[in-house]
Amino acid sequence: MKESERYSFPGIPFLIFILLLAFMGGWMFFTGLGPNHDDGSGPVSLSMLLTGLLVCGLALISLTGLYKVEPNQAAVLSLFGKYVGTVKHDGLRWNNPFFAKKKVSLRVRNFESGKLKVNELEGSPIEIASVIVWQVMDSAEAVYNVDDYESFVHIQSESALRAMATSYPYDQHEDGQLSLRSHAAEISQHLKEELQERLTDAGVEVIDARISHLAYAPEIAQAMLQRQQANAIIAARTRIVAGAVGMVEMALSELKKNAVVELDEERKAQMVSNLLVVLCGERATQPIVNTGSLY
């Protein structure tokens, strides 16, 4: 069911008219209770009483047609269960007194989901939470397509977050691989699209969706920390060794190019070993100066 705008009348003029109508009905009622003007003391005027009561009843019924619409709010109108339109003009408005009116906020709202414990793509348990920013765009769909659109948004947000978390690993283990920790923008976009697909039928637009909390579950947090430290050490050692090999190659190439010294294969191997020890060692080396012959 799509939203359609319904015209509403300004409420202030109708309020004044209803008050005048009620005053006139009251005057007719009390006038009917007075003496008959023909003989000065006759019975009450039944027609005036009935007319006064009828006018007062009409004023009372008309008063129920008044309702207030605040800024960024919509009033969904229905007549005996049938949707007749939506009023978005703010202020005091008037429509058919028999219209049922349900107010729907069109303001931008946000909430933070609770911390969910799920298994990521590789099966490790993690804790994850998100912040969702949303807004009702179609008031008719929000009211009639779902039972409670606010509860629907909260439940579907948690469901979408769970589905998204199981699609990615926590950490990036390969080049170009998307992970929850290293690709926040891509993950947020995926979560937003996943959530928007679920909330479209409820007339809700997802403005933003971002992860607000991400961590390994407490029972494996220490083990995963050691794993991260090991990966960092391996990555650092790999870079150090690659740089050291390059420096050794450059040293041997420059020595040969400039004809500084001629080294046989055994001496080259010894030189390479010494340079790698110096370049790859964690501590500073203690040099030994050879004052004799090279061999």
Asked if residue 141 has pLDDT above 80, the reply is: yes
Contacts of 207 (CB under 8 A, 6+ apart): 108, 133, 134, 135
pLDDT above 90 covers a percentage of the chain that reads: 41
pLDDT score of 261? 67
Residue 144 confidence class, pLDDT cut points 50, 70, 90: very high
Percent of the chain with pLDDT over 70: 84
Return the closest-CA partner of residue 217 out of 91, 82, 126: 126
* pLDDT value at 115 more than 60: yes
- For residue 52 the two structure tokens come to 């006064």
Do the Cβ atoms of 135 and 106 come closer than 8 Å?
A: yes
What integer pLDDT is reported at residue 68 of this predicted model?
93
Task: Give the residues across from 68 on adjacent strands.
Answer: 92
- By CB atoms closer than 10 A (0-12, 13-18, 19+), residue 292 is exposed
Q: What is the pLDDT of residue 27?
A: 86
What is the pLDDT confidence band of residue 178, given thresholds at 50, 70 and 90?
confident
- Assigned CATH for 109-216: 3.30.479.30
pLDDT tens-digit series, residues 244-253: 788 877 877 7
State if pTM tops 0.85.
no
What's the pLDDT at 224? Answer: 64
The answer, yes or no, to whether residue 138 has pLDDT greater than 60, is yes
Residue 84 has pLDDT above 90, yes or no: yes
Looking at residue 288, its pLDDT comes to: 66
- Contacts of residue 201, Cβ cutoff 8 Å, sequence gap at least 6: 141, 145, 146
Is it the case that residue 283 has pLDDT exceeding 80? no
Region 198-219: mean pLDDT is 89
Burial of 42 per CB tally in 10 Å (0-12, 13-18, 19+): exposed
Q: Give residue 133's pLDDT.
A: 96
- How far, in Å, CA of 45 to CA of 36, rounded? 7
Q: Which of 20-24, 48-52, 177-181, 289-293 has the highest mean pLDDT?
A: 20-24
In terms of pLDDT, which residue wins out, 293 or 240? 240
